[in-house]
Structures are given as structure tokens and as C-alpha cells.
């Protein structure tokens, strides 16, 4: 197991005192500023709590509120043995709050699916370009496994997740991967997939066919075909979701599923 890089401890003078208005928020802003300027780097240890209280001139509750906020943002973590450290600042950690934000925006149904369409199409474009033989083999294995879950909505949902995660992995962009993950989870919340599958015969079969077309286009390096297949897939999900949540019409902005690769 690789050893963790030795952490620096930031000089307290670099932190500086802050004004006594919105103290927790100002501490968060100060720490983020120090990271942006490079004064704090991944793995650095923050001074002990008692020193931070003195440095910032704030109370313990205000400091802890700020550290909780920084932890939620994926910027600061507490480690075994004590102490607060700057995280590795990995995109997946920093974008984790996106999942929570998206879960609160269900009124923006069209925007959610429009965003997922944009992200997933870009992912599939990159997957066509970057997929190696082992990636194509794994995609085909996932699609082949769909045959075993045609009557099992939970099993299909697991495979569906694996399929989309594999596409993101092949695309090789951590930020796109995290955004796609958040939008996918929002879709699951909207869809209530298990209920949809029970109430709509053929839904799993349709998604299975969509996945097979996407995988086939990636295998043959057919960029335009992959874009068309993914566009159709997202559109099918959107339409079936609208039926479940009682939408009277499909998206006002989009007609039948079709796309042009650029």
C-alpha cells in the first residue's frame, strides 16, 4: 500500500484573522482562497482546532460549522488520529455536492434530461475514440447479461448502472463521470424504475436493445451511430419517465429522437 505523502502544516500567519460577520462562511471562503492560490495544497494539515480558533478569532461552534461545510464540499477531511487535512482534491470528491443539488431540482425535469443528453452524448463520443478491446469486451458482457434480468427490474437496474459507469470510465474524464453519475441518479429518482418496469411491459427489453446498439456502435468505431443510439436511449428514458410521473406532453423543446454528430 502506497504511503501517504507527508503533509505540510500551513503557517498560521497565512490564514489571518477575519471579520466577525458570517464567521463560518468567511472561514470557508478563506480556506478555499488559500487552496486556489496554492498556499494550501492537497494533503496539507490544517493547524489544530485551538490554533484555528485563535487565528481566525472565532468561536469553536463557528469553526466547526466551517469545517463541516468544507468537508461536505470534499475539500477538507478528518483523519484517524486527529487533525483536519486538505483532501486529494479529486474531481469526484469535489463534485459530490452536485448529487445533492440535483436531488433538490426535480421541478427542472426538462433541464435535467437535456443536461444528461449533452453529457452522455459527449461521453459516448469519447468512448468511441478511446475504447480498447478489453473495454468493448466488457461492454458486450454487460449487454449479454441483460438476458438474465428481463423479468428482474432490480437486476436490470444494477446492470444499467454498470453499463453507464463503464461508458464514463472509457471516456476517461473524471469531471464528466461525476456529473453523469449525478444526472443518472436524478433520473433514477424521477423514474422509480422498479415501478415503471412492472407497469410497462417491454421497458427492460427496450433499454436492453438501446444498450446493445450503443455498444455495437462503439465496437465498430461508428461515432455517428453511437450518438444516434445514445440520443434515442435518453429520449426513451425521458418519455417513459414522463408517463410515470403523469406528464401530459413530452419535452416542449424536442421532437422525436434524432441527432447529428458533429
Domain-wise residue ranges, the chain: 12-89, 96-245
Residues 6+ apart with CB under 8 A from 13: none
Residue 203 has pLDDT above 80, yes or no: yes
Q: pLDDT: is 31 or 248 the higher one?
A: 31
pTM of the predicted protein model: 0.60
Per-chain mean pLDDT for the chain: 79
Tens digit of pLDDT for each residue in 92-110?
Answer: 666 565 555 555 445 567 7
Contact at 8 Å (CB) between 183 and 115?
Answer: yes
Any idea of the CA torsion for 33, 39, 42, 43, to the nearest 10 degrees? -120
pLDDT, position 164? 95
How far apart, in whole angstroms, are the C-alpha atoms of residue 172 and residue 195? Answer: 33
pLDDT, position 213? 98
Least confident of 15-24, 57-66, 135-144, 248-257: 248-257
How far apart, in whole angstroms, are the C-alpha atoms of residue 131 and residue 142? Answer: 15
**Residue where the block lists cell 458533429:** 262
pLDDT, position 41? 85
* CATH class as words, domain 96-245: mainly alpha
Residues 6+ apart with CB under 8 A from 63: 24, 27, 49, 52, 53, 56
Please check whether the two domains, 12-89 and 96-245, share a CATH topology: no
Least confident of 26-35, 74-83, 227-236, 243-252: 243-252
Residue 13 has pLDDT above 80, yes or no: no
* pLDDT interval class at 262 (50, 70, 90): very low
Residue 2 has pLDDT above 50, yes or no: no
How far apart, in whole angstroms, are the C-alpha atoms of residue 99 and residue 243? Answer: 24
A 10 A CB-CB count for 258 gives 10
* pLDDT interval class at 40 (50, 70, 90): confident
Percent of the chain with pLDDT over 90: 30
Q: Which fold has domain 12-89?
A: Arc Repressor Mutant, subunit A (1.10.10)
A 10 A CB-CB count for 57 gives 13
Contact at 8 Å (CB) between 235 and 251?
Answer: no
Least confident of 8-17, 77-86, 152-161, 222-231: 8-17
Contact at 8 Å (CB) between 122 and 176?
Answer: yes
Average of pLDDT values for 112-125? Answer: 92
Amino acid at each position: 500500500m502506497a504511503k501517504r505523502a507527508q503533509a505540510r502544516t500551513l503557517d498560521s500567519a497565512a490564514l489571518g484573522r477575519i471579520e466577525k460577520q458570517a464567521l463560518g462562511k468567511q472561514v470557508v471562503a478563506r480556506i478555499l482562497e488559500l487552496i486556489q492560490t496554492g498556499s494550501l495544497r492537497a494533503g496539507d494539515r490544517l493547524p489544530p482546532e485551538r490554533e484555528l480558533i485563535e487565528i481566525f478569532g472565532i468561536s469553536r461552534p463557528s469553526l466547526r460549522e466551517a469545517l463541516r461545510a468544507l468537508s461536505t464540499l470534499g475539500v477538507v477531511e478528518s483523519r484517524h488520529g486527529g487533525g483536519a487535512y486538505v483532501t486529494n482534491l479529486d474531481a469526484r470528491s469535489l463534485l459530490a455536492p452536485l448529487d445533492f443539488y440535483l436531488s433538490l431540482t426535480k421541478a427542472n425535469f426538462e433541464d435535467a434530461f437535456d443536461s444528461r443528453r449533452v453529457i452522455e452524448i459527449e461521453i459516448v463520443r469519447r468512448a468511441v475514440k478511446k475504447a480498447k478491446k478489453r473495454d468493448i469486451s466488457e461492454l458486450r458482457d454487460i449487454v449479454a447479461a441483460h438476458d438474465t434480468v428481463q423479468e428482474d427490474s432490480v437486476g436490470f437496474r444494477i446492470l444499467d448502472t454498470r453499463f453507464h459507469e463503464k461508458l464514463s470510465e472509457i471516456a476517461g474524464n473524471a469531471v464528466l463521470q461525476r456529473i453523469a453519475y449525478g444526472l443518472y441518479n436524478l433520473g433514477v429518482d424521477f423514474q422509480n424504475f422498479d415501478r415503471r418496469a412492472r407497469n410497462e411491459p417491454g421497458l427492460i427489453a427496450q433499454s436492453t436493445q438501446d444498450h446493445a446498439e450503443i455498444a455495437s456502435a462503439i465496437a465498430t468505431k461508428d461515432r455517428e451511430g453511437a450518438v444516434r443510439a445514445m440520443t434515442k436511449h435518453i429520449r426513451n428514458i425521458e418519455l417513459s419517465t414522463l408517463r410515470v410521473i403523469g406528464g401530459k406532453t413530452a419535452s416542449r423543446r424536442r421532437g422525436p429522437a434524432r441527432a447529428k454528430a458533429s
